[in-house]
């Protein structure tokens, strides 16, 4: 069965430090992969999607098909990055969200 795992519930880093939010999925095929973010008192919104190969707000996400992972990375965290991050693989006709990682960037 398809599954998505975000192993860290909470990740605390200092401003300027690198950050990596982990996401692992189990699926034999090639899902489309998304990261969504929810800032305090705002609605859930798309951060980036793998198909676009884009960098949004300094974040990038690398797909590792061998490890079935899609980790979100940023070289220098900013305080405004503090938010809840959800990994969301799109399997055929099914939509899953990870349980989320709360990123806390300390000054």
Partner 1 sequence: EAGVTQSPTHLIKTRGQQATLRCSPISGHTSVYWYQQALGLGLQFLLWYDEGEERNRGNFPPRFSGRQFPNYSSELNVNALELEDSALYLCASSPLVAETYEQYFGPGTRLTVT
User: Which residues contact partner 1 by CB under 8 A?
Assistant: 32, 34, 36, 43-46, 49, 51, 86, 88, 90, 93-100
Q: Is 51 exposed, middle or buried (0-12, 13-18, 19+ CB in 10 A)?
A: exposed
Least distance in Å: CB of 88 to partner 1? 8
Q: How far apart are CA 78 and CA 80, in angstroms?
A: 5
Closer of 50 and 71 to partner 1 (Cβ): 50
Least distance in Å: CB of 16 to partner 1? 29
Least distance in Å: CB of 17 to partner 1? 26
Q: How far apart are CA 61 and CA 73, in angstroms?
A: 6
């Amino acid at each position: 069965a398809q599954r998505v795992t975000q192993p860290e519930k909470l990740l605390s880093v200092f401003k300027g430090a690198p950050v990596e939010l982990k996401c692992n999925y189990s699926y034999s095929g090639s899902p489309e992969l998304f990261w969504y973010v929810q800032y305090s008192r705002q609605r859930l919104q798309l951060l980036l999607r793998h198909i676009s190969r884009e960098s949004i707000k300094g974040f990038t996400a690398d797909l590792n098909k061998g490890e079935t992972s899609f980790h979100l990375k940023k070289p220098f965290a900013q305080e405004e990055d503090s938010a809840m991050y959800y990994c969301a693989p799109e399997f055929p006709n099914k939509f899953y969200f990870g349980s989320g990682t709360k990123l806390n960037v300390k000054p």
